[in-house]
Structure 1
Amino acid sequence: MPNFQAGGLRRGGMEGGLVTQRQAPPEEPPSLDSMIRMVASLGGFLNRKSDGVPGPKTLWIGLQRIPDFVRALEAYSSVGDSYG
C-alpha cells in the first residue's frame, strides 16, 4: 500500500481509532496503511504476519465502531476531573 498520510481524517475519528490502540495522538498523522489496520482491528482483523491486507467486512465493522469511541472520548473530556 502506498505511504499516504491520514491527515484528511477528522481529528476525533483519528483519536477514536488511536485510543483503542492505547497510544497517545502522534505529532504527525499516521500513514494511511496504519490507520486502515487500526480501523480493521476494531472489526476483528488480527494483523498477523501472514494475514495480508484487511478485507471490506472487517473495515466496515471497524468503521461502524469508531463513532462509539469518539463519543466515549467526548464524554470523558466533558466530565474532566469531576470524578475520580
Structure 2
Amino acid sequence: MPDLEKPQSKTMVIEIPEAVGVFDTLEDLQQAFYDLRMIGIHHSEISLLGDEKALKEKLGKAYWRSADLEDDPHAPRANFVSE
C-alpha cells in the first residue's frame, strides 16, 4: 500500500545581504548611492522603491518610470552610469 502521508513543505532561505534606507532629500539619496558605489556595490545592484507621489514630490524629474521607457525607441539601452 502506498504511503499517503502529506508532503512536507520546504522553506528556501536565500542568504543575500540587503540594506534599506529612507531618505528625505535627493542629496541624501545621491550620497548614499555614491557611498555604496565607493565600497564596491555595482550600480545594477541598487534599486529605488517608492510611492509614485512621494517620488515626484522628492525627486521631481530625477527618475524615470519603466512604463514611460519600455516603448520609447530613444530610451537608453545600456547600463546607467551616474555622473
Which TM-score bucket, shorter chain as reference? Answer: under 0.3
Q: Which has the larger radius of gyration?
A: 2
